[in-house]
Structure 1
Amino acid sequence: MQIQSPHLAAGDTFLRMPLILVGCPSAAYSTIDIHASDTKGALHLTSVDEPATPHDTMRHWIVDRATVGDVSVRYGTPPRPVSLATRNGPLYDLRAQSDGMMGAGYYFIADVATTLTYNITLRWDLSHMPAGSRGVWSLGEGTQHTVAPAEILARSYYAAGIVHSEPKAGDSKFTFYWMGLAPPDVKTTAMQLQAVHSYLAKFFHDEQSSYRIFIRSNPYPGFGGTALAHSFMYGYSEKGGTDPSRVRTYIAHEMVHNWPSLDSDEYSDTAWYAEGTADYFSAVLPLRAGIISSADFLSLINDHAQVYYTSPYRGKSNKEAAAKAWIDDAAEKVPYARGFMYLAFVDAEIRAKSNGQRSVDTLVVELTDRQRHGEKVGLRDWLNLVEKELGPEGRQQYEAMVAGKTEAPSVNSFGPCFHPEPVELPRYDPGFDPMRLAIVSNLLGDSPAAKAGVKEGDLIVSMTAKRVLEKTAGEMMEMKVIRAGQPLTFNFSPYGPPQPGWQWVMSDGARSGSCKID
């Protein structure tokens, strides 16, 4: 990496890197791993680790003297070793794949610690890789030039090796990339998601936007994904079993992350907005575009409502949930479901107050437009717009959401085609870490699984999927494990006591084709 004349004084911070980012480790370079020099010669760097937060642990490198001219930096790392026991989580690491590697810059890039904008040129050296190798970045394939803050290098995805793509040329505004065998249903999924992306980009006034989806296989069960700059990475199990419709919903959520956000250093302050808008618009806009059916939409909003009303963190503040977000799957989901339900409530209130002339769309699109034009937009700006529409009650509703107060939904949430009804909802809780699907971890001694005979460290061969259990009330989970080389099978109910909540139903006389929530 070469940085043009950074003009650093002795003691200034030069580079930065997360050691841990939302539970995912990085290459965590030591001082001896990084070699820096300028026109005057070698630069000595000293590392300083910041106090850990629930979100990350950062390391900075400080220069020992003033820099002279351009600075060159060299460092490197092999991909992260992963196995059947690796915990499923955010895709911020770098992993080996068939004939190459794929991952996020956060894992291997120590970027320049500045908010300045740079003219960035990225080049690939593929001379030690197999013939026919390609190098792909979130912003394009091969050598790329862009003007952006330095942090975009870390906040991007990279793939190098025998990379396949759909379309094959890889020069489209919307492209899928993978290595090895093609993921299941990749062509159909690519076509459907391209339609979603086109509609989202038009809605957010960003029709020139490009988007790249990187797909890699995991050695453990389960799937997941994470959005970074103009891109998304999706990880799926080598053993299969992933529902393509769930994949499309998941990626649509991550696409929305390309637009709405609030500027803040505090995760708990704005996660509800980032994740809530992603859940909300990835459901509402595909319905509006006619890409998903009313039945699909109804299923989506009821899934979010079930997570919201059955959360063990119901009643806890956003800050309390955020403190546990990267060690407890239920805490991690709080801003998603809570943000979704809050935005649906605000939308119904604004539509009612404005006689249908404005909606939550109005607020989110305005803030996104302001950000695109270089303005820093934060929580205060959101609250100003909400209070402008709803008066003091708008702030009170926000404060109630932040505090974890459960509100009854507006009868007009999600338009006239659907209405909420009170129900008792089962709380899914198998009693062990649901993000480790290959090995029983963090087993609770009084859980249904433990009482059935499951033990910490059992190797999971298979278990009934949550989505299958949800379709049949009272279904028992069948869990097959291996313990000390012996196969064992257990059956138990993974549900705790039912919780009061709400689910939506189709209103009488509603015609599914007209339910667009315009």
Structure 2
Amino acid sequence: MDRAKTARVGIGPASLLAVLLTILAVFAPGTRARAEPGGPSIDAILTPEFGAADEPAIGVTLRLSAPGLAPGAALLRMPVTLVGTPTAAYPAAAIAASDDAGPLILTASDEAPTSSGTHRNYLTARATAGPVTVRYRTEPRKVGPETRNGPLFDWRREGDGMMGAGVYFFAVPPGQATHRIRLTWNLPAGMRGVSSRGEGEQQWEGAGESLAFSFYAAGPVQSIPADGRGDFVFYWLKAPPFDPAVLGAGTERLYHSMAAFFGESGLSYRVFARSNPYPSGGGTALARSFMFGYGNGGQTGATGTDMLVAHEMAHTWPTMTGDHPLTAWYTEGAAEYYSVLLSLRAGTIDHARFLSLINRKAEGYYTGTYRALSNAEAGKLFWKDPRAQRVPYERGFLYLARLDGQIRARSRGKRSVDNLVLDVLARQRKGEIVGVPEWRGLVVAELGQSAGREFDAMVAGKLIPPPRQAFAPCYRLVPATLTRFELGFSDTRPDLVKDLRANTAAARAGLREGDAIVKMTPLAGVRDNPSAEMAMEVRRGDESVSVRFLPRSEPAAGWQWQRVAGVPDSACKL
């Protein structure tokens, strides 16, 4: 079955779940009903347009097999906005529809907004007669330095081509009915058309929205392997500020290791890379694919491009049914946990890097502004405050690390948290629903009622007890006084002080909301150095102002891991 995901939110077949820098469209693991012979089908044709002077565009033609709709029924549906990201949001007049009875007039009707966005339905003015053909087109979204970073759900110009998600430009039949889907491309000579499914023509069975929740690239697409063949392919349109061959090789190695661990060896996976015109990066995972954006200075994330990709690839497997605020500790926490653990097992990172990564996650948890909020309370702030977005990542990671240590100790190394996570996945593949109550039952069965009480405390935002048994015998936990990087304002605008937070070093140094940034110390130079100061020159009206401050939070008590001397790597068994 199709699973679509974003590093930060899940969309399931039954409900929209909101979620870090992103929302995940997640079709819960299981077996999708196969399309009935003679059942509904969608023939989708994409026509990229590359004018010499005009902005490029993407044209869409859909041929729908006899939808048999009554007057006023929804023929198509698409988001207007999805977790803050706008789409093409076609007016009804921009969609040409016809059937055996001639032109088919559509009217647009927007649904009530939800926490994840707003959707638009395109309703028929009369009953449909036979197969229906619809056509529409859009130019890419225009973005610039002021564009807010978020899920990679838009469609952008990238170099001499276009790249993004189908969410931006696809209006598709609504609902979860299984269709036979065929995707083809009408391409100019010398151009390539690729999607999450592969290059060129692709066929599959799924809901209409599986077209939307896929990534696409059109134009002079480059790839590794160059011919695009194989079960792992990495695509880009502009020369990136990193070596794609090196990143691609490491990512492919990790993907095969992850797929084997989660029991899905042999299935394909595709990675897309694109640039951002602002100093922020991030990633979004969809159906067996992942797209990441890098900032105009090459930024992707605090832990590096390889770990961003590892996190998003891990999202391919661990999921949980339920509203996002209540399940993100698992979807995001498991992606955090397995991105580092499976990278170590695959040999794509060494123990020194592993130690640095797990300590960064622990530091984020203990110094978190919203550490004491419950999962539900943090979820309410998720799209209002970026600091709330980190709660499920670090909380989930530390909870799973502690649980793993407890299980290994209780079973004398015969079992681990891997057994529980793989059990959840096996149940989901059989069509079972696994949510928060089912997980609680699993940990109680494994460790007793005390594990249930610990889980309840984690959900309520209580401090997770120090995971002293985690990552033993190679690592031990020691108390530490910690600070986290705290710029004090949004890092999405390289030219402007925006969303300045009170009671931060930046505010105390004299920065003001709306100050124009003339120059500042590169973030890469201060983010990982607790003693490095930020130096800034800003313009305030006709005045030039210089400020210096230490971009760190107030100290907090916490814990960090240390490598145990004398224990060889071979004894780690992580």
Partner of 2:251: 193
Aligned-pair distance for 1:366?
2.1
Tell me if 1:98 matches 2:166: no
Q: Does 1:34 align with 2:91?
A: no
Q: Are 2:432 and 1:359 aligned?
A: no
Q: Is the contact between residue 105 and residue 158 of structure 1 (CA under 8 Å) also seen in structure 2? A: yes
> Which amino acid is the alignment partner of residue 456 of structure 1?
E
Question: Do the aligned partners of 1:431 and 1:444 also contact (CA within 8 Å) in 2?
Answer: yes
Q: Give 3-state SS (helix, strand or coil) of 1:295's partner.
A: helix
The equivalent residue for 1:477 is 534
TM-superposed deviation, 1:446: 4.5
The correspondence for 2:227, drawn from 169, 175, 189, is 169
For the Cα contact (< 8 Å) 2:485–2:527, is it kept in 1? no
| Residue aligning to 1:334 | 391
The alpha carbon displacement at 1:282 in A equals: 0.6
Does the 8 A contact of 2:221 with 2:237 survive in 1?
A: yes
Quote the residue 2:115 is aligned against: 54
Match of 1:423 among 459, 480, 495: 480
**What CA RMSD, in Å, does the superposition of the two structures yield over aligned residues?**
2.4
Supply the AA of the counterpart residue of 1:87: R
For 1:479 and 1:516, the matched residues in 2 are separated by 47
Deviation at 1:234, TM superposition (A): 1.3
- Structure 1 unaligned blocks of 5 or more: none
Q: Which of 175, 190, 194 in structure 2 is aligned with 1:132?
A: 190
Question: 2:44: which partner in 1?
Answer: none
One-letter identity of the residue aligned with 1:420: L
Q: Deviations over 1:177-220 (max 9, x none)?
A: 11132441211111111110010000011012211111111111
Match of 2:57 in 1: none
> Per the alignment, do residues 492 and 115 of structure 1 end up closer, same or farther by CA in structure 2, a change over 3 Å counting?
same
Is the Cα contact below 8 Å between 1:211 and 1:230 reproduced in 2?
Answer: yes
Moved more, 455-464 or 151-160: 455-464
Instruction: Indicate the SS of the match to 2:304.
Output: helix
Q: Which residue of 2 aligns with 1:217?
A: 275
Residue equivalent to 2:39: none
Moved more, 71-80 or 242-251: 242-251
The alpha-carbon deviation at position 305 of structure 1 amounts to 0.9
Query: Do the aligned residues in 2 keep the contact of 1:329 with 1:434 (CA within 8 Å)?
Result: no
Deviation at 1:315, TM superposition (A): 0.7
**Partner SS for 1:279:** helix
Comparing 344-353 and 297-306, the one that deviates more: 344-353
Instruction: Name 2:149's counterpart in structure 1.
Output: 88
Equivalent AA in structure 1 for residue 287 of structure 2? A
Q: 2:306 aligns with which of 242, 248, 264?
A: 248
For the residues of structure 2 that align with 1:343 and 1:305, how far apart are their CA atoms?
A: 12
What is the alpha-carbon distance in structure 2 between the residues aligned to residue 476 and residue 18 of structure 1? 43
What residue is the counterpart of 1:321 in the other structure? 378
> Which stretch of structure 1 is more off in the superposition, 450-459 or 416-425?
450-459
Q: Which has the higher contact order (CA 8 A, sep 6+)?
A: 2
* Distance in 2 of aligned mates of 1:10 and 1:468: 61
Query: Per-residue deviation at 1:20?
Result: 2.2
- Report whether the alignment pairs 1:146 with 2:207: no
Q: Report SS of the residue matched to 2:321.
A: coil
Distance of 1:302 and 1:12 partners within structure 2: 54
1:18 corresponds to 2:43: no
Q: Which runs of 5+ in 2 are unaligned?
A: 1-61
| Candidates 78, 93, 101, aligned match of 2:139 | 78
Aligned to 1:260: 318
Listed one character per residue, the Cα deviations across residues 239-268 of structure 1 (whole Å, up to 9, x for unaligned) are: 33668971001101000111111233x221
Tell me how far 1:229 sits from its aligned partner: 0.9
Shift in Å, 1:430: 2.4
Alpha-carbon distance, 1:276 to partner: 0.8
Match of 2:184 in 1: 123
Q: Structure 1 residues 45 and 516 mapped into 2: Cα distance closer, same or farther (>3 Å)?
A: farther
2:362 matched to 1:301?
A: no
Does 1:456 pair with 2:513? yes
SS at match of 2:167: helix
| Post-superposition offset of 1:64 | 4.2
The within-5 A match list for 1:270-419 is: 270-419=327-476
Q: Residue 437 of structure 1: CA displacement? A: 4.0
Distance (Å, rounded) in 2 between the aligned partners of 1:284 and 1:69: 54
> Is 1:184 equivalent to 2:242 in the alignment?
yes
Does the residue aligned with 1:96 lie in a helix, a strand or coil? strand
Question: 1:377-407: CA deviations, max 9, x gaps?
Answer: 4333323322221233333222212211111
Q: Which moved more, 1:380-389 or 1:400-409?
A: 380-389
| Alpha carbons of structure 1 residues 474 and 90: separation in structure 2 relative to 1, 3 Å | same
* Cα distance in structure 1, aligned partners of 2:76 and 2:454: 41
SS at match of 1:496: coil
What is the letter of the counterpart of residue 113 of structure 1? P
Secondary structure of the residue that 1:73 maps to in structure 2?
A: strand
CA contact (8 A) 1:271 1:335 kept: yes
How many correspondences in the alignment?
513
Deviation at 1:271, TM superposition (A): 1.5
1:106 is displaced (CA, Å) by 1.2
What code does the residue aligned with 2:162 have?
Answer: M
How high is the TM-score relative to the length of structure 1? 0.92
Task: Using the TM superposition, name which of 374-383 and 23-32 deviates more.
Answer: 374-383
8 Å Cα contact 2:77-2:119 kept in structure 1: yes
- Check the 8 A contact 2:278/2:492 in 1, yes or no: no
TM-score w.r.t. length of structure 2: 0.84
CA distance in 2, matches of 1:381, 1:72: 45
| Pair 1:395–1:70, CA change in 2 (3 A) | farther
Q: Which amino acid aligns with 1:272?
A: W
